[in-house]
């Protein structure tokens, strides 16, 4: 059973991919796959941040 992707999980995986690339731990054969995954994770994190910001602004708007 796979876990639902959360911001924390996505960020951790993204950090791991970046570390692997910086440490040259990824073969050239896998580099494209890892970069594509990193792109997907980055898009997910950006959308989660936007969504959270919108939610917070809505809540704060209701308080005023």
Question: pTM for the full model?
Answer: 0.83
Residue 2 lies in a domain: no
| 58 token code pair | 């809505």
Q: What is the pLDDT along the chain (64 residues), one digit of tens a residue?
A: 467 999 999 999 999 999 999 999 999 999 999 999 999 999 999 999 999 999 999 999 998 7
- Tell me the residue range of the domain where 30 lies: 8-63
Surface-to-core class of residue 27, CB atoms within 10 Å of its CB (0-12 exposed, 13-18 middle, 19+ buried): exposed
Instruction: Give one DSSP letter per residue of 26-55, joined into a string.
Output: S-HHHHHHHHHHHHHHHHHHHHHHHHHHHH
Q: Is residue 1 part of a domain?
A: no
Nearest 5°: the CA angle 46, 51, 53 is 95
47 inside domain: yes
**Amino acid 39: pLDDT:** 98
- Number of structural domains, the chain? 1
């Amino acid at each position: 059973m796979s876990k639902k992707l959360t911001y924390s999980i996505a960020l951790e995986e993204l950090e791991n991919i970046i570390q692997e690339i910086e440490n040259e731990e990824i073969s050239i054969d896998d580099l494209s796959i890892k970069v594509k995954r990193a792109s997907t994770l980055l898009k997910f994190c950006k959308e989660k941040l936007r969504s959270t910001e919108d939610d917070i602004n809505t809540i704060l708007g209701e308080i005023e």
